[in-house]
Amino acid sequence: MAIKDNSRKPRQFQIGNLVLTLSGLLLLTNIFLPGILGPSISRVPYSMFINQVGNGTVERASVSQEEIRYQLKPAEGEEVGQVFSTTPIFDLELPKRLEANGVEFAAPTPPKNRWFTTLLGWVVPPLIFVAIFQFFAARQGGGLGGGGRGALSFTRSKAKLYVEGDDTKTTFADVAGVEEAKVELEEVVEFLKSPQRFLKIGARIPKGVLLVGPPGTGKTLMAKAVAGEAGVPFFSISGSEFVELFVGAGAARVRDLFEQAKKQAPCIIFIDELDAIGKSRASGPFAGGNDEREQTLNQLLTEMDGFAVGDATVIVLAATNRPETLDQALLRPGRFDRQVLVDRPDLSGREEILNIYARKVKLDEAVDLHQIAARTPGFAGADLANLVNEAALLAARTQRESVAQADFNEAIERVVAGLEKKSRVLNETEKTIVAYHEVGHALVGALMPGGSKVAKISIIPRGMAALGYTLQMPTEDRFLMSEAELHGQIATLLGGRAAEEIIFGSVTTGAANDLQRATELAERMVMTYGMSKVLGPLAYEKGGQNNFLGQEGMGNPRRMVSEETAKAIDGEVKGIVEAARDQARSILKNNRDLLEAIAKQILETEVIEGEKLQELLKQAALPDSIPALA
């Protein structure tokens, strides 16, 4: 797809430029050639004027508060005397002196405007407005299809019009990992290509298709692929571009967008971040009011209802990652009556996406994209594109001609844990504490159910605050977790703090993030998943909407509960976390020799990974008895 461009300036811009050019010439003439407005008159000091009056050489004078203009008596051979002017001073004796010397004097007559001065007085003010108009027109030029627009046309749509171009055309071959969404949208493509085949049997294609999914999964790319496959114009706009400071501008832009789309039918309108204008009107600070966003939403609802049979080939695609916030009127049949989930890809989908982006870089023959896909569960399409780019940058930084497997491994760690901070030097005591802390995570994680495979232990600082890290890579995509596996995750998070207690007899601030994550997971177990024998299978979390992360959204307030229930919730959460801590301590005490051995090795090498790490972790064993779960 290519953006349509129209570089020819509209007629009003050409006329404005001509008017500005003529006015500029007139003003320059007035400034630099003032002689055309009248004869030039020499100015003299006031004292010279008084001396000439006393000598009797002044014939007549015109006296005003700003200027005295006088004419001398003609000299021999002259018919008319010379004319001079001077600036008056406060002199009450001047009239008597002029009368005594026989000078004819009077006040000047009111000046008559010459035609040129009159012309400037009428023309210059409008020209100022023309100049302002041209200034804003130049800044706000562009618009729908790339053509020029007026400076004050805030009601025009800001949508970009993409037309088909073989060099930049996007098709379904450029999209991978969302096969189910492709199947749903292929029907839309078929309708755009041959609508009569559907209309002949009375079938009606959905007017609106809502693409729902987490950020970075390719919703915008999918919409462009639909337009590319169908070979139709594609209008793209963000929901925030409808909203303006001026009330009613957003609604006018919606009208203008649909008018333009109907002229280009069959075509597709794509609205990204629909929640910017489509939030529920029953909530928010302006609920029930008449604010700009609500007027824009009302106009969108009206336009989607107003499609006649002839306009049926205008299809609205929209994308959002917060469908729960949308107004129900948008989601009813007849508007956005079909929702297509564009979710994070599975293992095979990630491998397909990596193959697409890997075509743009030069790969080493030993690169195994399947292994990379297996190490990146939960990565969206945008994450994988960034991963390939990071690996290419690492290869270029080391002056190599191709991207190796090691580059991808380092890129994964950059994305997951952040950049290495080798400049952040730890003293020996801190480095020792970090080593035992990370080995504690690794040992507990290797023995607990539900724990991912421990792939690497490092005491090299990464990211904003991590002084070390334990990299765990899931062995498969998981969508459900048991109660025992959640307990194992909490125990793994607390393994670092437990190691500090066992080895040093005290704890540090390094476990702050571990405690935060463990507490949140325990709260979800009690308040969302109903995994509490005391409180039973009840949900105490308010508005637990899925946030596409495989877990319920955090930060939701509790429902209205009694004081006794709130205390019971806090008690259950505390019991789960303390039981997991006891499990971690029991495991580490049973494997203390191995804990110290691995910690000493990592203090020497700073990093342990691969088969060497797996051989060490295989020596870990569960204790004969483990503390009971809460």
On whether the CB atoms of residues 547 and 534 are closer than 8 A, the answer is no
DSSP 3-state helix, strand, coil percentages of the chain (rounded to 5)? Answer: 50, 15, 40
- Rounded to whole angstroms, the maximal C-alpha distance in the chain is 138
How many CB atoms lie under 10 A from the CB of residue 173? 10
Burial class (CB in 10 A: 0-12, 13-18, 19+), 470: buried
Residue type, 119: L
Nearest to 389 by CA among 418, 370, 365, 411: 411
Q: In terms of Cα–Cα distance, which of 380, 379, 467 is closest to 420?
A: 467
495 neighbors 584 (Cβ within 8 angstroms): yes
Cα separation, 495 vs 24, whole angstroms? 79
CA atoms within 13 A on the CB side of 624: 0
Neighbours of 382 (CB within 10 A): 15
Q: CA torsion, points 310, 311, 314, 318, in degrees to nearest 10?
A: -140
What distance in Å separates the CA atoms of residue 274 and residue 240, rounded to the nearest whole number?
A: 8
CA 21/CA 28 separation, integer angstroms: 11
Question: Can you tell me whether residue 397 is helix, strand or coil?
Answer: helix
CB 459 within 8 A of CB 603: yes
Grouping H, G, I as helix, E, B as strand and the rest as coil, residue 411 is helix
Examine the residue annotation and report whether 438 is marked as an active-site residue of this protein.
Answer: yes
Cβ-defined contacts of 130-137 (< 8 Å, 24+): 130/16, 130/19, 130/20, 130/23, 131/20, 133/16, 134/13, 134/16, 134/17, 134/20, 137/13, 137/16
Instruction: Judge if the upstream peptide bond of residue 126 is cis by omega within 30 degrees of 0.
Output: no
> Could you say which DSSP state residue 409 is in?
H
Q: Which amino acid type is present at position 363?
A: L
Q: Which residues, including other chains, have CB under 8 Å from residue 415's CB and lie 6 or more apart?
A: 379, 383, 386, 387, 390
CA angle in degrees (0–180, nearest 5) for 34-37-42 = 65
Q: Which of 292, 351, 352, 438 is catalytic?
A: 438
End-to-end CA distance of the chain: 58
Q: What's the rounded Cα separation, in Å, for the pair 495 and 504?
A: 14
Q: Closest Cα to residue 237, out of 256, 257, 218, 219?
A: 257
| Amino acid, single-letter form, for residue 78 | E
Among all residues, which ones are annotated catalytic? 438
